[in-house]
Amino acid sequence: MYTSKLQFRCEFTKHDADVFYTTNWVVNGELVLTEDAMKWDNGDVIANHTLTEAKLISVHITQVGFELRCSVRASFGKGTAASVPVMSDPKFIGIKISDKTLELSEGDFADISLQLTAPFGCGTTAGTCELNIESVHLVILASEWNKAATVRVFGQVSQSLGSSSNTLKLKLATPDVLFDNMFWVQLKKNTTLIARKSCHAVNDPHMLTFDGRRYEHQYEGVFTMYKHTIFPIEVQIQTADCGRGVHNAWCNCGVAIRAGRTVFEFNRCEGQSSIWTIEYTLCEDSGDVLQVKKKGNNYEVYLPTGGRVTVNVYGIYLNVYIYPSIQDVNNTRGLCGTLTANCRDDFFLRDGTYSTDVTATGDCGTTSNVWQNLLTTFSNSWK
């Protein structure tokens, strides 16, 4: 019957004299086993002194993840004085992790390298087998045990603001092989770049970019208010005639919030009905892609990035407020502009060029270019 087991040999060369050899096995700096003294016997002493799984279990070592060393002493007789031991270099048996401590900011990714230092088998199972590392959903094939594997770690974004540092422990474990290891992640939060930042479209609609630039958006149609440049996340607004005798004024009558292929939508644009249509479409995404909470006339929609969209419904109109996460820094486009802490670069068009309709002067808070309907090219590029 086929079988596979882990075993270790202490390799050394024969002395010129006809002597006895004693092999010692050291685990994590502690002597755990001493083999009986034997003569060279055509090198059979090395095979007879092999450290097997059975011998490891007999000294209560039942899982990998240990440092192993061996030493050899020579003597002229079994009970006579022996030479000074010659110690091998240490060898770690298990999975070596490139970073035992990882420093990571919220919203960032980091790669951890995993390297097996010894082959593994599947007991009495012949053929290809694999090692499943459950906590990171990683599979290593027995035939590729000596190839490094990479695990990507993501710093989960929380809803809170401020600066903080938390230390987390990530444990690696396997279901069938006696192995466990762990590494520490120091997760840092610094929301200085998004503190007190938001973008809004309030009727009819007056716009505020993430970096504080104000402008008018007096156009009819469907527009991209916010779009993440890396993740498939987008917020669109639809404007229609405000009615009530107001000439050439356009109000928000609909908003659609998308993450992946999941969409949450408010709409009363068609026919200017007084009844709101509120729809939630889940399409091949997990159920928690968008989290929606109702608070009075407000709907809070939480995005996978840690950002939040607030939809305020009043009468036949709605206002839209977008609160960014740290993952939005340098990654936003649309009517909300670019979140960079610089109001001078807000008006990028859909094609990536910059709008020449307005030359931003002064600080964001000055009255220059404020409440002026001069951004036709910019607004319509996001239609």
Domains of the chain by start residue, with CATH? 7-12+19-93 (no CATH), 95-190 (2.60.40), 194-381 (3.40.1000.10)
How much is the pLDDT for 135? 67
Can you read off the two tokens belonging to residue 217?
């958006």
Measure the CA–CA gap between 85 and 378, rounded to whole angstroms: 79
Which one, of 284, 281, 288, 276, lies nearest residue 264 by Cα? 281
Band (315; pLDDT cuts 50, 70, 90): confident
How much is the pLDDT for 18? 92
Can you read off the two tokens belonging to residue 309?
């969209």
How much is the pLDDT for 361? 43
Band (110; pLDDT cuts 50, 70, 90): confident
Model confidence at 332: pLDDT above 90: yes
For residue range 267-312, list pLDDT tens digits in order.
888 665 566 677 777 666 565 678 888 888 889 999 988 889 999 9
Is the Cβ–Cβ distance between 225 and 383 less than 8 Å? no
